[in-house]
Structure 1
Amino acid sequence: MQPTFLTFLDPDTVASDAAARFIALAEGAIAERGRFVVALAGGSTPERLYKLLATRTLDWEKITVFFSDDRFVAPTSRYSNAGLALRLLPLCPKTTFPVPAETTLDAAECAAQYEQELLAALGPEPRFDLVLLGMGDDGHTASLFPGKAALHAVGWVTHSTPGVLPPPVDRVTFTFALINAARNVLFLVTGAGKKEKVAQWRAGAGSITSLPVRGVAPTDGTCTVLLDEAAS
């Protein structure tokens, strides 16, 4: 399904709308299937979202949490997406699965282990109720960077060499196959630095290789892009 683009005043109103959607999807999934399966993301806009969610009442014991990507760093690092969520949200340890980057594995082995954890928790055809994503100034999403081999990876989880963002460490990331199996994908995209790539995305310009967000198209689900005015 092609994305639906919605524009809001600023990052705070983007986060507020995202929080309302998150809560509605969580409550609906728990009522219908007994749990809410979500992939969280990192970055400044999700940070706003997480701070809002921390003030709301949610049954976190029934929320299964994975991470759509992370740097190959320990959760204690300030660069860790999992670390950000663990600091801000009352996540349940039994249902939260950070990327296992503290082990002695390399990034490729770490990605393989994370895929096994995912399959053990979700079954052989994993499907998320919600995958949260952002978009970088270069058009990447998760850790699927322009021109990288990870764009064409098979399976559910893969690894990538460093992108343009610091620090220069390897990444572990969902593949397009896993993202596109989701019931709902929600992008949070803010800031004037994203404007050019957003315009290309909306116009259907570029390829997955040059503009990786083009690869997100759920096969049987929704894809919604929340923009602030600066990005739009």
Structure 2
Amino acid sequence: MTDRTPGVVVHADRQTLAEAAADRMVTTVVEAQSARGRADVVLTGGSMGSALLVALGSSPGRDAIDWSGVDLWWGDERYLPAGDPDRNETQARDALLDQLPLDPSRVHPMPAAGDDSDVDAAAARYAEQLAARAAEESPRQDVPTFDLLLLGVGPDAHVASLFPEHPALHEQDRSVIGVRGAPKPPPTRISLTFRALCAAHDVCFLVSGSDKADAVGLALSGTGPMQAPAAGVRGVRSTTWLLDRAAAARVPRQLVRPASP
């Protein structure tokens, strides 16, 4: 049986963390492509999501990936008009995606505001895209088995757009939901649910900064996902928290292993 206990790796600083995350992404994607000719990766937003992509753009390993055989997804999105600078998609394109030889049909941004009647319809449409991709693997699945899921964590321990005590945490049937009333602006968002997030082979949290230390410590202390949603995401094969020293200040010592030299 696969050990689903999270691993914790602490890096000296934010830049080292971003570079290590980029290396991990390269390794995972190359392995997936060697095994089955393609890879499915879920990107994260926020400052660390952009930092990873910038580091990947400067990494020699970037050219080891066949970018035409990569499907890119997002774990959540701010429900804003296309091209809005606060959208995760916009930030990812600016950081790296527009420089890569990607197959446009394999880049799957979450719908923008105005493309559907409302956020629920937008979420349902994204769920249909996931189901279509999943059907290529098995008719019994409605979510792809993502090779790598990248996630950030908020100071309140939210993950994707699943916030503490929010009704969205109770969703068990749908893979994608519209989130209304989020405590962090903008209040309307789209998010994968726990069921979809936990379909990934490998989950990798990327967290930097002292303002995240309490949230990281809470999520790794055994607290339930209602109080710390980040605690509710586990990979099928592995779950790894990549932290800088500031973010790791509250992590139980027995969970930490040093970064490779």
Tell me which residue corresponds to 1:116: 128
Tell me which residue corresponds to 2:241: 225
Tell me which residue corresponds to 1:178: 196
TM-score, normalised relative to structure 2: 0.84
Does residue 209 (structure 1) correspond to residue 226 (structure 2)? The answer is yes
Tell me which residue corresponds to 2:68: 61
Tell me which residue corresponds to 1:161: 180
Bigger CA radius of gyration: 2
Q: Aligned letter for 2:14?
A: P
Contact 1:75 1:81 in 2 (8 A): no
- Counterpart CA distance in 1 for 2:181 and 2:241 is 25
Contact 2:43 2:73 in 1 (8 A): yes
Cα deviation, residue 45, structure 1: 1.1
Tell me which residue corresponds to 1:48: 51
Q: Aligned letter for 2:76?
A: D
> 1:87-106 CA deviation, whole Å, 9 max, x = no partner?
22224312101111240331
Q: SS where residue 174 of structure 2 aligns?
A: coil
Gaps of 5+ in 1: none
Q: Aligned letter for 1:2?
A: T
Q: Aligned letter for 1:215?
A: G
Cα deviation, residue 8, structure 1: 0.6
> 1:148-178 CA deviation, whole Å, 9 max, x = no partner?
1111112211121243333x23111111111
Does residue 97 (structure 1) correspond to residue 100 (structure 2)? The answer is no
Match of 2:77 among 70, 73, 77: 70
Contact 1:3 1:222 in 2 (8 A): yes
Q: SS where residue 187 of structure 1 aligns?
A: strand
Cα deviation, residue 201, structure 1: 2.0
Moved more, 148-157 or 38-47: 148-157
- Counterpart CA distance in 1 for 2:84 and 2:191 is 18
Name the CA shift for 1:207/1:177 in 2 (closer, same or farther; >3 Å).
same
Contact 1:107 1:159 in 2 (8 A): yes
Q: SS where residue 17 of structure 1 aligns?
A: helix
- Counterpart CA distance in 1 for 2:82 and 2:237 is 31
Q: SS where residue 203 of structure 1 aligns?
A: coil
- Counterpart CA distance in 2 for 1:16 and 1:130 is 16
How many pairs were matched up? 229
Q: Aligned letter for 1:43?
A: G
- Paired residues for 1:3-82 under 5 Å: 3-55=6-58, 56-57=62-63, 58-82=65-89
**Identity percentage of aligned residues:** 35
